[in-house]
Copies of this chain bind each other. A is one copy, B any other.
């Protein structure tokens, strides 16, 4: 790990609008955060340089790390992926494993990034199952939900670990001490839920975090707690459900508004507020989703991430390194194991 400045590998080839949107995001971050961290652009050198030239940013102090191979749709469907040792994802994660960078940000295929990170970085000591955490807007603060897709089937112990990881991430990256952790279930009493959550409730309760008990589906958008713990199956369904609210509301609004001239004028006056509301619901605004529980820092961005999201994801990665999130997670989980005599 380099002394002083945090160094982040950015997957220049990952995402639907790569490399253009990614390089633009890197430029935004470089300018916006005054070089708070160093960015290594990983991918096809020629293409990256072309983008930097186009965006008149060739003189900015980026490091470029060439990676010759591209992951395509066919690779995703087959086992061909393992053979591509020189894709931007594989190269960047090896750099992190070797200590040449501190973190990795990618808008590439979530499954590929996750699998390669598991393989290359390995699990963090004390963690049985890594999890993907994501930000969801609420009436109050932003809510961190995990897992949202890494583990479709979970045990109580996994949910407990998610609670600890989420709590520490929220504390050191979102800078809120003692964040409230809730367990997503169907009823507030500790005995309500399914077999797994009833077991997890007990572990979380004894887990030396600010566990506020079970929360229900309605509590997420209300912002009743800061961290919501659930298995990756339900987390993914909730995440995708939230992503669809914007479109649904737009369709409802359209249907209503087109029924009268006065309504159309009202809608015209409210154009900006309505756009802002859609933005609140737009995940791209939040940056990326941290993959917690691997021996490293890995932020997975939406494939459709605009430059601003890439910038935010780079900042997240930097905060996660600076906040020593992984060290805190490891210490907390191991201390708990000692306490329980495991």
Contact = CB atoms under 8 A, between A and B. Distances in A.
A248 B138 contact: yes
A33 interface: no
Contacts of A273: 253, 256-257, 259, 263, 266
Interface in A123-164: 138-139, 149, 152-153
A46 interface: no
Given A237-B216, A239-B217, A241-B241, A186 B270 contact: no
Contacts of A267: 266, 270
Contacts of A233: 185-186, 193-194, 197, 234
A95 to B, nearest CB: 30
Number of copies: 2
B217 A236 contact: yes
A217 B237 CA distance: 4
A136 to B, nearest CB: 10
A152 B194 contact: yes
A235 to B, nearest CB: 9
A214 to B, nearest CB: 11
Contacts of A175: none
Interface of A: 138-139, 149, 152-153, 184-186, 193-195, 197, 216-222, 231-234, 236-245, 247-249, 251-253, 256-257, 259, 262-263, 265-270, 272-274, 276-277, 280
